[in-house]
Amino acid sequence: MAEYDLVIRGARVATASDVFAADIGITDGKIEALGRSLGSGAEEVDATGLLVTPGGVDSHCHVEQISSTGIWTADDWFTATRSAACGGTTTIMPFACQHKGQSLRKVVQEYHELAGPKAAVDYAFHLIVSDPTAQVLGQELPALIKDGYTSFKIYLTYDALKLSDREFLDVLAVARRDGAMVMVHAENNDMIMWMAERLIAAGLTAPKYHATARPMLVEREATHRTIALAELVDVPVLIVHVSGKEAIEQIRWAQSKGLKVYGETCPQYLFLTEADLDKPGREGAKHMCSPPPRDEANQEIVWDALVEGIFEVFSSDHAPYRYDDPEGKLKAGPGAHFKQIANGVPGIEVRMPLLFSEGVLKNRISLSEFVALTATNAAKLYGLYPRKGTIAVGSDADLVIWDANKQVTITQSIMHDAMDYTPYEGRKVTGWPVMTLLRGKFVWRDGEFTGEAGGGMFHECDTPPALAAPPRLPTAFDPVAGKLVE
Ligand code: URP
Ligand code: ZN
Ligand code: ZN
């Protein structure tokens, strides 16, 4: 009788701390043993010459969500998770997005109804809090946190979603009291709207003016404000989709003061530039996201910040809106002005291959740093570790087997999402996942998606470990406890 359900033999295994040679023994979807010359498996895979990393954890993506311009993501839960699996990601963390007037509990239930039958990889939810009423702050959020929804995103921009500073403080206080991580979309809404109105009045409506309306100082101001508000409440925050120098400087400053400020960046800030928004006609819309991609010098600054350790996570911010489609980016018409075009780019499938090729193989980051940025840190940050994000005995057998020499030209026809373009069209990379395993089952093997709708499982998140940091109040008054402290 075989000792394991599956044995992966002779692999080079990388975790966030080590790179070593081992066989991996898997039973009942979990890693049961790691070592040399393991006993037999009912199925065996010869991974000689291949690399094995933990299945990716993409902690920022949008699935079956409506944009602020009123269009739906092209991907549903099946196509988004199929695309994730084929790119080596086995856990995604999209958002259950509350719109004003909605009950968060009901929103979460609706997202579960969409995800459950269709997800092909595992998932957890962040909450988007856009309407922090007394009911939401006092009852819904505390109960949802207890039920395993331990992170929420708030917006400082988009009229339909943004919170005032006062509301933001209220949400931060709940996060500290009940144990949740707050993620912040840090751009100053009034600055953007003021600039956008003037640009449009001047007839400057093409996609490239999206970037003119959102210069880096807009992001710098909101990042700085976020850091100060979180310091006042004494609670960790994570600044999502950081685009370049000025926000990085704010985060570096906060981290140097010992404040609990984390950062996330995304492929679009390493591989796209503002010039991509200036393609002929409205083609630049394909590259429109917020914050916008900056210039090449900023790409290098983002790389340097990754190497320096400023960023905890590298997420896709997959926000897939089709281009040549009546329900896509140009729904408002071929002459749509930039404020009418949905923000967001796809990237769930190429997130890991892009960073592997340009980061690891070009010696910018180590293999272990790659694993930390694409899997381990997200699992830790959001309370999924060590179930997810590592290769260890007892962890879920979520694995990516890479051919580190495989040459691939990224093009939409090889993607597995529901999009009609990739912003990385024509980019050549080296290294690609040849197999992905979700809890010991192949979901991507030798060029075929082998997973199934409904094969993914929901995971509750534990309290984020960052919440356990010692207190560090800036005044003698603890505003969450409501009392003076000695
Ligand atoms: O442009 C972006 N990032 N779209 C997705 C929504 C968001 O703010 O993350
Ligand atoms: Zn955002
Ligand atoms: Zn996003």
Mean pLDDT for 194-213 is 98
Q: Is residue 479 part of a domain?
A: no
CA 461 to chain centre: 15
* Ligand 1 mean position, distance from CA 483 (Å): 38
pLDDT in tens, 72-93: 999 999 999 999 999 999 999 9
Distance between CA atoms of 371 and 352, rounded to whole angstroms?
A: 9
Distance between CA atoms of 405 and 180, rounded to whole angstroms?
A: 41
Q: pLDDT band at 69, cuts 50/70/90?
A: confident
Phi, psi of 353 (to 5 degrees): -60, -40
Q: Which amino acid is at 187?
A: E
Q: Is residue 469 part of a domain?
A: no
Mean pLDDT for 394-404 is 98
* Contact call for residues 55 and 39 (beta carbons, < 8 A): no
Instruction: Determine the atom of ligand 1 nearest the C-alpha atom of 158.
Output: 8
Q: Is residue 349 part of a domain?
A: yes
Instruction: Determine the atom of ligand 1 nearest the C-alpha atom of 240.
Output: 9
Q: Which domain holds residue 269?
A: 55-381
Task: Print burial letters for 167-180: b (CB count within 10 Å at least 16), e (below 16).
Answer: bbbbbbbbbbbbbb
Q: Taking 90 as the threshold, does the pLDDT of residue 296 lie above it?
A: yes
Q: Given ligand 1 and candidates 289, 313, 315, 318, which is best to mutate, with the most ligand atoms within 8 Å of its CB? A: 289
Ligand 1 and 62: CB distance under 6 A = yes
Measured in Å, how far apart are the chain's first and last C-alpha atoms?
65
Quickly list H helices, 321-478. Answer: 351-355, 367-371, 377-381
Mean pLDDT for 95-124 is 98
Mean pLDDT for 461-476 is 96
Give the per-residue pLDDT at 68: 85
Q: Is residue 350 part of a domain?
A: yes
Nearest in space to 366 (alpha carbons), one of 14, 10, 13: 14
Q: pLDDT band at 451, cuts 50/70/90?
A: very high
* Ligand 2 mean position, distance from CA 241 (Å): 7
For 70-127, give the DSSP string: S-B-S--HHHHHHHHHHTTEEEEEEEEEPPTT--HHHHHHHHHHHHTTT-SSEE--EE
Instruction: Determine the atom of ligand 1 nearest the C-alpha atom of 288.
Output: 1
For atom 9 of ligand 1, the residue with the nearest CA is 317
CA 188 to chain centre: 21
Number of domains making up the chain: 1
Return the SS3 of 184.
Answer: strand
Residues 6+ positions from 131 with CB-CB distance below 8 Å: 98, 99, 100, 101, 102
What does each C-alpha distance from 135 to 104, 132, 429, 437, 476 come to in angstroms? 10, 8, 49, 41, 29
For atom 2 of ligand 1, the residue with the nearest CA is 344
Q: Taking 90 as the threshold, does the pLDDT of residue 269 lie above it?
A: yes
Percent residues over pLDDT 70 in the chain: 100
Q: Is residue 170 part of a domain?
A: yes
Q: Taking 90 as the threshold, does the pLDDT of residue 376 lie above it?
A: yes
Ligand 1 and 241: CB distance under 6 A = yes
Provide the token pair at 158.
Answer: 């988009």
Return the SS3 of 151.
Answer: strand
Instruction: Determine the atom of ligand 1 nearest the C-alpha atom of 343.
Output: 1
Return the SS3 of 218.
Answer: helix
For atom 3 of ligand 1, the residue with the nearest CA is 290
Q: pLDDT band at 335, cuts 50/70/90?
A: confident
For atom 5 of ligand 1, the residue with the nearest CA is 344
Question: Which ligand sits closest to the CA of 184?
Answer: 2
Strands (E) in 353-455, as ranges, are 399-409, 428-438, 441-445, 448-449
Give the per-residue pLDDT at 231: 98
Give the per-residue pLDDT at 130: 98
Q: Given ligand 1 and candidates 239, 317, 318, 348, which is best to mutate, with the most ligand atoms within 8 Å of its CB? A: 317
pLDDT in tens, 111-166: 999 999 999 999 999 999 999 999 999 999 999 999 999 999 999 999 999 999 99
Provide the token pair at 119.
Answer: 């997800």
Q: Taking 90 as the threshold, does the pLDDT of residue 354 lie above it?
A: yes
Give the per-residue pLDDT at 211: 98
Give the per-residue pLDDT at 191: 98
Return the SS3 of 214.
Answer: coil
Q: Is residue 458 part of a domain?
A: no
Give the per-residue pLDDT at 284: 97
Q: Which amino acid is at 254?
A: A
Ligand 1 and 290: CB distance under 6 A = yes
Ligand 1 and 344: CB distance under 6 A = yes
Q: Is residue 111 part of a domain?
A: yes
Ligand 1 and 343: CB distance under 6 A = yes
What's the angle, vertex CA 13, arms to CA 8 and CA 15, rounded to 5?
130
Distance between CA atoms of 310 and 381, rounded to whole angstroms?
A: 14
For atom 6 of ligand 1, the residue with the nearest CA is 344
| Residue 37, CB-side half-sphere exposure with 13 Å CA sphere | 0
What does each C-alpha distance from 352 to 115, 383, 428, 456 come to in angstroms? 23, 21, 14, 20
Q: Is residue 410 part of a domain?
A: no
Question: Which ligand sits closest to the CA of 66?
Answer: 1
For 10-36, give the DSSP string: EEEEE-SS-EEEEEEEEETTEEEEEES
Ligand 1 and 185: CB distance under 6 A = yes
Q: Look up the CATH number of the domain holding residue 124.
A: 3.20.20.140
Ligand 1 and 387: CB distance under 6 A = no
Mean pLDDT for 219-248 is 98
For atom 4 of ligand 1, the residue with the nearest CA is 344
Q: Across all residues in the chain, what is the average pLDDT? A: 97
Q: Is 292 left (phi over 0), alpha (psi -120 to 50) or beta?
A: beta
Give the per-residue pLDDT at 486: 78
Residues 6+ positions from 368 with CB-CB distance below 8 Å: 14, 15, 16, 17, 18, 19
Mean pLDDT for 14-39 is 98
Give the per-residue pLDDT at 358: 98
Distance between CA atoms of 84 and 374, rounded to whole angstroms?
A: 12
